[in-house]
Amino acid sequence: MKSARVIHPFLFAIYPMLVIVSLNLWQITLWEVVRLFFCIFLFCCVLFLLFQVRYKNWQRAGFLTSITLILVLYVDYSAYIQEKIGFAGIFVDRYLIIYIFWGLVLMFANSRLLWGRIRPSIITRYFNVTAFLLILVFSFKLWPLVNSYVKDPLRGWYPSENSAILTIDLNKGALPDIYYIIVDGYARTDVLNEIYNYDNSDFIDYLKNKNFYLAEQSQSNYIQTSLSLSSSLNYEYLKSLEFAANKSLNRDPLRKLIQHSKVRAILETAGYEIITLKSGYYITEIKDADLYLSQYSLNISNLETLFIDTTGFHIVFDSLNLSSSLLDFEVHRNRILYEFEQLGKISGYNSENPKFIFAHIVLPRCHSCLTLGSDS
């Protein structure tokens, strides 16, 4: 019998990524998808080659690679196992149990008990067909989403050149630094009092003593951050997008309105230096600013984070006491503290030009980030 080509490991590797991408299609960029695909493909290739070097058999290497991928990528075991498993007063960490389970499965998959009873070409064909059917069935489920993406009225939408033109006379001799700080989710004083029974009068009095103007009964024109900021940064309601109301979930136009806003165009024309900070919410991250401040030089995207958090990869990170998630409370807290720290330092930055500082601080944990299985 002719030897079967080993393609199933790559199909099994692609499937989990397709699921996550499909559920967050309107909140990710093509570059994020390409980068995640490359990382997964590289991981698959490394596993495949390591098993091939060890056993000198492509079909056996492919089988073990697929088993490993299924174990690691397809189930978040920790979601079903409590942190400590106790028996007769002895407690074992759940990650140790998971590692033992992985080891036992791979030992059996590699044992003579199994390989002495099966023909490699048969199991390779079986796995090829199974992986192909898995992708095929999901493709049928994915088709309505792809169809809506193709027909989306906002796909490829870009603000017209005229939308960034607004004449404002600025006194060239006295251009102050401008700070636009969005403390997202921080409610008004009366709301904090009424709903949370929290008195922030000390903070309000401090601002008043510093001559800040406080709009005490203010309300946002939109209930979502992406809508509100794309409106405020462009001095207008989002009438240019009304034609797509209730017809599109596409957030990319809002990202474009925020990143290439009238405010930015006007201030850059006036000679301002644009400084922005990483927020953890991709729509408000203006990375092409003159200065983009981020706590980490290597920025893991929310898509990559979600992939780690919903697969067995996060078990490895967590068991080594490494924070795998940008949505992790401690990482989120550190990012906020970094933003406040940088805001305090920016005034001391040496620059011949006035500065516009844009900071979106997501004080509660971000509910607008990527999700698995919901439409947030």
Do 133 and 175 have their domain in common?
no
Please report which confidence band the pLDDT of residue 277 belongs to, taking 50, 70 and 90 as the band edges. very high
pLDDT, tens digit, 9 for 90 and up, residues 124-169: 999 999 999 999 988 887 787 777 777 778 777 777 654 545 556 6
Do 129 and 174 have their domain in common?
no
pLDDT, tens digit, 9 for 90 and up, residues 211-239: 988 888 888 888 888 899 999 998 888 88
User: Which amino acid, one-letter code, is at 363?
Assistant: L
Asked if the model's pLDDT at residue 376 lies above 50, the reply is: no
Asked if the model's pLDDT at residue 369 lies above 60, the reply is: no
pTM above 0.75, yes or no: no
Do 187 and 59 have their domain in common?
no
- What is the arithmetic mean of pLDDT over 26-55? 89
Do 243 and 140 have their domain in common?
no
SS3 letters across 12-64: HHHHHHHHHHHHCHHHCCHHHHHHHHHHHHHHHHHHHHHHHHHHCCHHHHHHH
Asked if the model's pLDDT at residue 318 lies above 90, the reply is: no
Comparison of pLDDT for 8 and 155, the residue scoring more: 8
Q: What is the token pair recorded at 340? A: 């406040």
Q: How many CB atoms lie within 10 A of CB 53?
A: 9
Bridge partners, 361 (sequence order): 183
Does some domain include residue 37? Answer: yes
Does some domain include residue 262? Answer: yes
Range with the poorest average pLDDT among 117-121, 132-136, 226-230, 352-356: 117-121
Does some domain include residue 99? Answer: yes
pLDDT, tens digit, 9 for 90 and up, residues 172-188: 667 888 999 998 888 88
Count of domains for the chain: 2
pLDDT, tens digit, 9 for 90 and up, residues 335-348: 889 999 999 888 88
Q: What is the residue range of 198's domain?
A: 161-362
Do 92 and 199 have their domain in common?
no
Last residue of a domain, one of 150, 173, 204: 150
Long-range contacts: 324-328, Cβ < 8 Å, 24+?
326/280, 326/300, 326/302, 326/369, 327/280, 327/302, 327/365, 327/366, 327/369
Last residue of a domain, one of 150, 181, 213: 150
Do 136 and 113 have their domain in common?
yes
Do 87 and 219 have their domain in common?
no
pLDDT at 2: 59
Asked if the model's pLDDT at residue 366 lies above 60, the reply is: no
Do 138 and 199 have their domain in common?
no
Please report which confidence band the pLDDT of residue 74 belongs to, taking 50, 70 and 90 as the band edges. confident
Contacts of 232 (CB under 8 A, 6+ apart): 221
